Structure 1
Amino acid sequence: MSDLLKVLEIDVGNTQLKWRVVDQVGKTPIQRATTAAFLAGEVSATAFSGVSRVRVASVASDEINERLRLYLQAICPQVFFAQSVAQMYGLVNAYETPEKMGVDRWLGMLAAWQRQRSSLCVIDCGSAITIDWVDTHGLHLGGYIIPGLRMLQTSLQSNTARVKFNTQGFNWNDSPGSTTDACVKNGSCYVLGALAEKIQRQADEKKTQSIVVTGGDGHFLIDYLRTAQWEPELVMEGLVWADQFSGVGC
C-alpha cells in the first residue's frame, strides 16, 4: 500500500453493509450498519477523512449501488466496484455469463484460492448460504445457493397459518424442540448442521484440500466441519486482490 495510504473497504449485502479502513499502520475493526442508515448519513464520516481510495463489493440493487457510488465519490473520487469476471489469478469462473455471479461469491473464492492454490470449498453463510467448489487447477466446479438460517425460519412464519414463533433471540441448538418456537429454530439448526456434515463428507470423497467458511452465521457451522477454516473477512480480502488485478489498487 505504498501509494494508497488510506483505503476504505466496504462489503454491501442485501440490507446491511460492513466496512473497515486500512492504512500503513493496520486496519480498523469491522463496523456495521444498515445500507439505508449509511446512505442517510447516519454513520459519522469522520473516520473516512483522508481516504485515498474506496473498494466496494456489493450484491445490492443497481439503484442502491448508484446511490452508494455518488455518496462515496463525495468522500473520495477513486471508487472501485468489484465485479465477477471470467478468470483472475488462475481462478476460472464456471458461469457462462460471469458477471451474473454474486460478487461476494467470486471474491470469497478468489481470496481462498490466493491463499491455498489447491482444491477448496468456500461456504458463505449470510442471508443466503452459498457453497462453491474449486479444483486444484483453479477451475470453479459450480456451487449451490440455499436459504440462510433466518430465511429458513421466516419462510415458515410467512407461508404458514399456524406456525408462529418469536423471531427475537437465537441460540444454536439442533436438539428436538418441545414448543413451536424451539421446533422451528432448532429445526433450522438441524438442517444446516446436516448440510455441513454432507459438505465435509463430499470434501473427504473429493480429497478437497480445504474448506473455508465466512459470513455472519458461518461460525455456527464450524463444529460440524472437521477441516474448516473460519475467515470472517474473506470477501474483503478478495476485494483487495480484485482491486490489484484492476491495475490501480495496491
Structure 2
Amino acid sequence: MTLLAIDVGNTRLKWAIYSQAQPGAKLLASGAEFLENIESLAEGAWAAIPAQDAPSKMIGCIVAGDALRQRVQEQIFERWDLNPQWVLSSPQEAGLVNGYDFPMRLGADRWVAMIGAWHRMMATHSAAPKPMVVVMVGTAVTVEAIGVQLAPDGTSQGKFLGGFILPGHGIMLKALESGTAGLHVPTGDVKEFPTNTSDALTSGGTYAIAGAVRRMRHHVQNRCGQDPVLYMTGGAGWKMHPWLGLEDVELVDNLIFDGLLEVAKFRGISD
C-alpha cells in the first residue's frame, strides 16, 4: 500500500509518495509546486508516476482555507481515486498533547511538525525523554516548545507548551520596504557588523529569528529544568541554521512529512 503525503504551505505545495503508511517508509517520488501552479499537478508531475507506485491512500495538512483545499482535491481526484484525509489540530494525537488555549486553532502544519519531532526525539531518547524546541523557517517562522509528561498508562507523552510566530525573512524585508523611505528589498549578506544597508537588513532579520530561538530555548530550560533537544526544519531552514550560534541544533529535511507518517500509523491508515 502506497501513501501520498501532502503539505500545503503559504507559498508551495510539497508532496511525497511513500511505499507504506508507516514511519521510515521508502520514498518513491516527491516534488513541489508553487500554489499558483497547483492545477498542473495531475497532468504534470503526477502523470509521470508509474502505475506500480500510484498511491492508494492519502494524508495531508494545509494552512490555507477551503478554496485551496478544494483545488488540491480536484487534482487528486483527476489523477487517482483517493479519499483525502486532512490532519487538523486536535487536543491529542500520536503521542502529543495540545496545550493551545483553543487546540483546533493551532496551525495544522505546526501540529504535524511537532508530532514528527516528538517521535524523532523518542527514537534516540526513549529511556529518558527530553523537552524540545522545534523551529520551522518558511514564509513565516514558528518556534515551538514541547515538554514531557506522563500519560495515564505511565508512558511518556509530549506536551505542547506554546510557541512564537515571527515573519520570515521575505515578509520582514517587504514590510521595511513598504514602510520605510529609501529602503529596498536587499540581496545582502549576514554580517556581525554590517556596514551597508543591504547587509544591515539581511543581518537584522536573521539575528531577530536567531534571538527568538535562543529565547525559547532559555524558557524551556527554565520550565523543564534541562536542556531541550533543538530541531530546525522548513524550506529556508538551511539558510538560517548556520547563524543560530547554537551547536546542538539538528537540521531536519522535513518534519511535516515525518509527522504525517506518524499520524498515518496512529490512525491505522494502512489497515
When residues 22 and 90 of structure 1 are mapped into structure 2, their CA distance, relative to the original with a 3 A threshold, is: closer
For residue 67 of structure 2, the aligned residue among 55, 63, 76 is 63
Q: CA deviation at 1:120?
A: 1.1
CA contact (8 A) 2:188 2:201 kept: no
Query: What are the ranges of 5 or more consecutive residues in structure 2 without an aligned counterpart?
Result: 123-128, 150-157
Matches within 5 A, 1:37-186: 37-41=37-41, 43-48=44-49, 49=51, 50-74=54-78, 75-117=80-122, 118=129, 119-137=131-149, 138-166=158-186, 169=187, 171=189, 173-186=190-203
Aligned position for 2:214: 197
Q: TM-score, normalised by structure 1?
A: 0.86
Q: Does 1:17 align with 2:21?
A: no
CA contact (8 A) 1:73 1:79 kept: no
Give the total of aligned pairs. Answer: 243
Q: Distance in 1 between matches of 2:270 and 2:191?
A: 44
Aligned position for 1:212: 231
SS of residue in 2 equivalent to 1:142: strand
- Paired residue type of 1:105: R
CA contact (8 A) 2:138 2:235 kept: yes
When residues 19 and 84 of structure 1 are mapped into structure 2, their CA distance, relative to the original with a 3 A threshold, is: same
Q: TM-score, normalised by structure 2?
A: 0.80
When residues 90 and 77 of structure 1 are mapped into structure 2, their CA distance, relative to the original with a 3 A threshold, is: closer
Q: Distance in 2 between matches of 1:29 and 1:248?
A: 20
Q: Distance in 2 between matches of 1:233 and 1:188?
A: 23
SS of residue in 2 equivalent to 1:21: strand
For residue 241 of structure 2, the aligned residue among 183, 201, 222 is 222
Aligned position for 2:155: none
Query: What are the ranges of 5 or more consecutive residues in structure 1 without an aligned counterpart?
Result: none
Alpha-carbon RMSD across the aligned residues, in angstroms, is 2.3
- Paired residue type of 1:190: Y
CA contact (8 A) 1:20 1:29 kept: yes
